[in-house]
Amino acid sequence: MQKKSHASEQGQVIVFLVIGLVVFLGFTALAIDGGMAYSDRRYAQNSSDAASLAGGGEAALILENEHVYYKTWSCNDPSVIYAQNVAIAKAIERALNNEFVIDTDCSDDNCVIIECGEEAAWGSFIDKYIDVTVKIATTTETSFAHLLYPDVINIRADSTTRVRPRQPWVFGNAIVSLNPDACSGHDNGGVYYGNGDGNVYGGGIWSNGCLAGDGRPWVTVDQGGIFYGGEFEPGNANWDPQPPDDPVDYQIPPSAYDVPPPDCTGRWVDNNDIPRNGDALEPGLYCFNTEFRANAHDEIIGNDVTFFIYGADITLNGNATIQLSAPQSTPDPSPAIPGVLFYIVPNPADAPCPDQTVIINGNSESYFQGLILAPCADISLLGTGSTDAYHSQVVGWNVLVGGEADTWIVFDEDRPEGQATRIELSH
């Protein structure tokens, strides 16, 4: 038998060792240098976020303090220009605190950019804003990877904070139904019914899902549009302006009607605590966890009031005289909510919608001034025939508007209530 020779195998171990060493170095470089690059990238991004938010926060504070609201917004307004300049300075200062030097020159990708804009956003609503963008560029020196890759690792991070002025809830729409479901027997979404006309001034009509007509109302919107995110069943109603043929690719999010619940400590009442003989309510906050009801011939009057309804219904029957208005500012000492007349929330908070019922119907002497917010309720808004009945925004899960009398809803954009000046960070 011929003996096997090992001469041809000499030196193979060294080859395998070299290959193994290269692989080991590669993994080591990936572990160490990759970790360093990731850490530097996170630090740069966090610094970019912080600088952008700092600049946006300062701009928002100035807009709020200078009373720059949506209605009066202009990029040429001295207060808006001042807010932009302060935002630049604050962003530069915050970046320097994190050892990054930036300016307004973006040729080296280390800079802050300010943009003031107005653009069509949601239906007929115009988004007005200041964008504070911070760009940061840096490098990571490698320890092992340079054996395979001689250059440094380049790091780039950028953040944009959008600052919006104080603006109306739900993008300035006067009537909003939040239910995204399809039409179902005129039960879902926004439904306009009966023979009385529906007149809306100062804002639009929006439904996240179904928009339907039932009966022969004439639905007219002035200074706004009519939009829907699901289906449109016009029925025999007349629509002016005519809704678009196709739904909008957008739904009003909870952030557009985010109102913090009030502090009801010591302020819980029931239906019997509300005078019904025309005696004026004291200004302030009234909290209910039982039904708030008005019967025929009741007379309920109150200015600068907010009704917070927790896990219960509202039933305001016809032929009652109801004259209620929300405060423009928080009355002292009661923590009523500026601009909010009725705030109705379910119990528990995550109850499936619709969980509550809101029926609002008065006579020709009735009026309601302020936001009617019931995001998980069926709202029935019946006409009173009065042109001064509803100086409101109406936001519900499903909203039914109609009856035999005309309904007039007038939304006053000039009032300062609504969502406070706010900021939103994006990368």
pLDDT tens profile 116-137:
999 988 777 889 999 999 999 9
Give the separation between CA 223 and CA 203, rounded to whole angstroms.
Answer: 6
- C-beta separation of 299 from 321 below 8 A: yes
User: Which pLDDT score, from 0 to 100, does residue 28 have?
Assistant: 61
* Nearest-10 Cα torsion for 105, 107, 109, 112: 20
Q: What are phi and psi of 248, to 5 degrees?
A: -80, 150
User: Which pLDDT score, from 0 to 100, does residue 388 have?
Assistant: 77
For 353-357, the CB contacts below 8 A with 24+ separation are 353/178, 353/179, 353/377, 353/397, 354/179, 354/378, 354/397, 354/398, 356/309, 356/311, 356/312, 356/313, 357/313, 357/314, 357/315
User: Which pLDDT score, from 0 to 100, does residue 179 have?
Assistant: 97
pTM greater than 0.95? no
User: Which pLDDT score, from 0 to 100, does residue 145 have?
Assistant: 53
Tokens 């949601």 belong to 122
Angle between helices 78-97 and 12-65 (to 10 degrees): 150
Strand 111-122, strand 153-164: pairing: unpaired
- Residue 253, preceding bond cis, omega within 30 degrees? no
User: Which pLDDT score, from 0 to 100, does residue 29 have?
Assistant: 60
- C-beta separation of 203 from 172 below 8 A: yes
User: Which pLDDT score, from 0 to 100, does residue 17 have?
Assistant: 65
User: Which pLDDT score, from 0 to 100, does residue 245 have?
Assistant: 92
Q: How many residues does the chain have?
A: 427
pLDDT tens string 214-249: 888 899 999 889 999 999 999 989 999 999 999 998
Strand 175-177, strand 205-207: pairing: parallel
User: Which pLDDT score, from 0 to 100, does residue 404 have?
Assistant: 78
User: Which pLDDT score, from 0 to 100, does residue 277 have?
Assistant: 93
- If DSSP states are collapsed to H, E and C, what string results for the chain? CCCCCCHHHCCHHHHHHHHHHHHHHHHHHHHHHHHHHHHHHHHHHHHHHHHHHHHHHHHHHHHHHCCCECCCCCCCCHHHHHHHHHHHHHHHHHHHHCCCCCECCHHHCCEEEEEEEEEEEECCEEEEEEEEEEEEEEEECCCCHHHCCCCCEEEEEEEEEEEECEECHHHHCCEEECCCCCCCCCCCCEEEEECCCEEEECCCEEECCEEEEEECCEEEEECCCEEECCEEECCCCEEECCCCCCCCCCCCCHHHHCCCCCCCCCCECCHHHCCCEEEEECCEEEEECCCEEECCCCEEEECCEEEEEECCCEEECCCCEEEEECCCCCCCCCCCCCCEEEEEECCCCCCCCCCEEEEECCCCCCEEECEEEEEEEEEEEECCCCCCCEECCEEEEEEEEEECCCEEEECCCCCCCCECCEEEEEC
- C-beta separation of 168 from 393 below 8 A: yes
Give pLDDT < 70 ranges for the chain.
Answer: 1-13, 15-34, 142-150, 330-333, 413-416, 427
